[in-house]
Structure 1
Amino acid sequence: MKIQRITYLSLGSNQGNKLDNLQKAINAIADKIGAVQKVSSVYKTASWGYEGEDFYNICIQISTYLQPESLMERLLQVETDLGRVRSNSDNYTDRNIDIDILLFDDEIIFSKTLKIPHPRMLERKFVLVPLEEIAKNSIHPVEKKQLHQCLKNCTDDSLIEKLPDQLIRPIPLSEKYNYIAIEGNIGAGKTSLVNMMSDEFNAKVVLERFADNPFLPKFYEDKERYAFPLEMSFLADRYQQLSDDLAQFDLFKNFIVSDYYIFKSLIFAQVTLQKEEYALYRKMFDIMYKEITKPDLYIYLYQNTDRLLENIKKRGREYEQNIEAEYLQKIHDGYANFIKTEQHLNTLIIDVSELDFVENNHDYEEILKKINLS
């Protein structure tokens, strides 16, 4: 599990649509760096150290798993993506966006490329005023004083005006949802995505325990004989696991992500069971389904059959290597029918056929954007 760290950033803009520049920066930070937990009011101040347009300044609190050097690299990239052009001069200049790291937990860092706490933050009201607004009791790790005391001691007499405009804090997934279920066909990448999201949002993970099912290898050797005991054992195990894991959240985790939902049992049973077996199975399923907690968001990862077969071959589970394209298509058709007819789920379908979200961070970010917009 990656460790989430609290950091405070200062954002400023004195070119173009300043409010829009700040909002775009906040959104980009939320997408690429970490959850934005607090956003200060907007303050207007004169340019510092040179004659230029007035600045709009804010401070934000974020939670990120990035180390300080990586955090700085990402912030510089955000500035570049938003159109900032840096000059070779050491003099202050106008800029559409400027982002500085002020504090990173209670760490003190002095390197060639990075100094934390920001060495000039205590000299600048345009930094301290918005920072004190959202972190007044936080302690400056060098001064050993709370920030509201640091503000009182600040000798900067610059005028600073609080504006009525309010910027929007992007709501992270961990606050938007309590429980997300991610499903897909065999080899679609659902477990990989669940594990990545767990690291990103410090979420509790519920993973299907398929490897513990003794009927699974036998089923792939003789489907007709072992279909019913396989599906019944899966149903019982999924019901027990979801009932236990969803009954209460961990002390420090109020966000759960699972790589299956109980309805998966019915979809696979429709494909594998004979008519009489399925009728009996359905009676058992309906009893259990009423008792299971429904996810706040149900995500179906779609991958085309060719890509699924590639992924199955790549991960190398011996008992899966003889799975046929026709079987995968039947499973997909079952999911498609379920999604079409189930009216009580908040459902999101994401086509990942052309994405590699495990190896390509941009693809992963695109998936998170789609989830956030759902």
Structure 2
Amino acid sequence: METNKTAYIAIGSNQGQKLQHLQDAIDMIYSEVGDVVRVSKIYKTPAWGFNGNEFLNACIEVITRLTAEDLLRSLLEIELKLGRERIPNQYTNRTIDLDIIFYDRLKLEQEHLVIPHPKLTSRKFVLQPLADLIPYFTHPDFKTNISDLLANTADNSTIEVVTEQLQPKFNQLEKLSFLAIEGNIGSGKTSLSQMISEDFNAKLILERFKDNAFLPKFYEDQKRYAFPLEMSFLADRHQQIADDIAQFDLFTDFVVSDYDVHKSLIFAKVTLEAEEFSLYKKIFNVMYSEIPKPDLYVYLYQSTEQLLENIKKRGRDYEQNIAPDYLEQINTGYLEFIKHQQQLNIKLIDMASIDFVNSRSDYNQLIKTINHSISHLNLNV
């Protein structure tokens, strides 16, 4: 999974409903590329390089997980959807024009993509709106900031700011302190937690299960290693959640975790004999009585078939022999827990046909669903 990058994109239109084309482009970039977090003023400018209608131009700041190459492909697709007709090696009137100016501090030179944009310094209609957003950003090649490049450009064309404004578009999460993302093995809970942490500046707590020496042995001989595995998880989770929560101020920080402590009970009930589970539950209740509860507990439900497919894709050797019956039991355990739980605010989300890692629109919808649940909570934050 790619991490977030910051891209600056020049947008322009000189055909048809120009202002609407620009806003439509922003909306589509939000839906397909990433959050449009800032938008410059709009400038009326003459056509550059050919005789044509006046342009409306602006620049936008976009946060995206796409690579530079995938970003270019997505922008070209958006241009097509908005009616852009490209004629090779020729400037023409256009409904929309989308150009990558910067992509973080990447320097890239390919046949169809050069970053930073090679004609930036000679285009006042790009430099002016870009200076609205990042006046002191230093050009990686010229070692000069955008304000100075604007002041010294050879382009002396007249540009005029217009009164209309474009609207940025980005995901937001309602205010809360502690969000737990839960799910079965292979449900995507860790990926979603990481994405939310990165997108909303949340402190991240990830379960450190990879270091558990009993886990590979358990998948080979569940009956023999169930109790030592569950007890080690119980101790590890308690130590981790206590240590991690102690680092954060839940009155001011936003914390997201890819597990909730109650998963210990859910897994243990599946794997342990009745007498073992009775003892285990007593120890759990003593250890976790003072651990803070999440404001919202989100459960990502996946069918057993989909879980097995996800597990196969991520390729952890010790998981490849997990039996479907075991996953089914875990799913049942979670659903029973959710059904009878009265102390937690729980949102169950059916993840059938949702691919939030690879589909920006699926991710947006998932955030909206979580937001809707948060908005119905009575939180004193």
TM-score (norm 1): 0.74
Equivalent residue, structure 1, for 2:59: 59
Amino acid in the other structure paired with 2:335: A
Q: What is the percentage of aligned positions where both structures have the same residue?
A: 43
Counting only pairs closer than 5 Å after superposition, residues 208-223 of structure 1 correspond to structure 2 as 208-209=208-209, 212-214=212-214, 217=217, 221=221, 223=223
Q: Determine if the alignment matches structure 1 residue 50 to structure 2 residue 56.
A: no
Q: How many Å separate the matches in 1 of 2:81 and 2:175?
A: 27
Point out the more displaced range, 26-35 or 313-322.
313-322
Equivalent residues of 1:301, 1:350 under 8 A apart? yes
CA deviations on 1:322-355 (whole Å, 9 max, x unpaired) are: 7353x53342233224445456446351424x56
Q: CA deviation at 1:157?
A: 3.7
Q: How many Å separate the matches in 2 of 1:128 and 1:272?
A: 63
Q: How many Å separate the matches in 2 of 1:313 and 1:61?
A: 37
Q: CA deviation at 1:9?
A: 1.3
Q: How many Å separate the matches in 2 of 1:298 and 1:29?
A: 30
Q: How many Å separate the matches in 2 of 1:145 and 1:260?
A: 47
Equivalent residue, structure 1, for 2:374: none
Q: How many Å separate the matches in 2 of 1:193 and 1:178?
A: 17
SS in 2 for 1:233: helix
SS in 2 for 1:347: strand
Counting only pairs closer than 5 Å after superposition, residues 144-183 of structure 1 correspond to structure 2 as 144-154=143-153, 155-171=155-171, 181-183=180-182
Q: How many positions carry a matched residue from both structures?
A: 360
Amino acid in the other structure paired with 2:181: I
SS in 1 for 2:333: helix
Counting only pairs closer than 5 Å after superposition, residues 87-102 of structure 1 correspond to structure 2 as 87-88=87-88, 90-95=90-95, 97-102=96-101
Q: Which runs of 5+ in 2 are unaligned?
A: 371-381
Point out the more displaced range, 314-323 or 8-17.
314-323
SS in 2 for 1:241: helix
Q: How many Å separate the matches in 2 of 1:7 and 1:310?
A: 34
Q: How many Å separate the matches in 2 of 1:18 and 1:289?
A: 59
TM-score (norm 2): 0.73
Q: How many Å separate the matches in 2 of 1:273 and 1:232?
A: 11
Counting only pairs closer than 5 Å after superposition, residues 157-306 of structure 1 correspond to structure 2 as 157-171=157-171, 181-191=180-190, 206-209=206-209, 212-214=212-214, 217=217, 221=221, 223=223, 227-248=226-247, 258-273=257-272, 278=277, 280-289=279-288, 291-292=290-291, 294=293, 298-306=297-305
Q: How many Å separate the matches in 2 of 1:104 and 1:324?
A: 44
SS in 1 for 2:75: helix
Amino acid in the other structure paired with 2:243: D
Q: How many Å separate the matches in 2 of 1:229 and 1:245?
A: 24
Q: How many Å separate the matches in 1 of 2:322 and 2:147?
A: 66
Amino acid in the other structure paired with 1:71: L
Q: How many Å separate the matches in 1 of 2:116 and 2:321?
A: 55
Point out the more displaced range, 279-288 or 239-248.
279-288
CA deviations on 1:88-143 (whole Å, 9 max, x unpaired) are: 46132121x21112234455555542344334333444322211111111123444
Residues 90, 292 of structure 1: alpha-carbon distance in 2 compared, 3 angstrom cutoff? farther
Q: How many Å separate the matches in 2 of 1:19 and 1:266?
A: 56
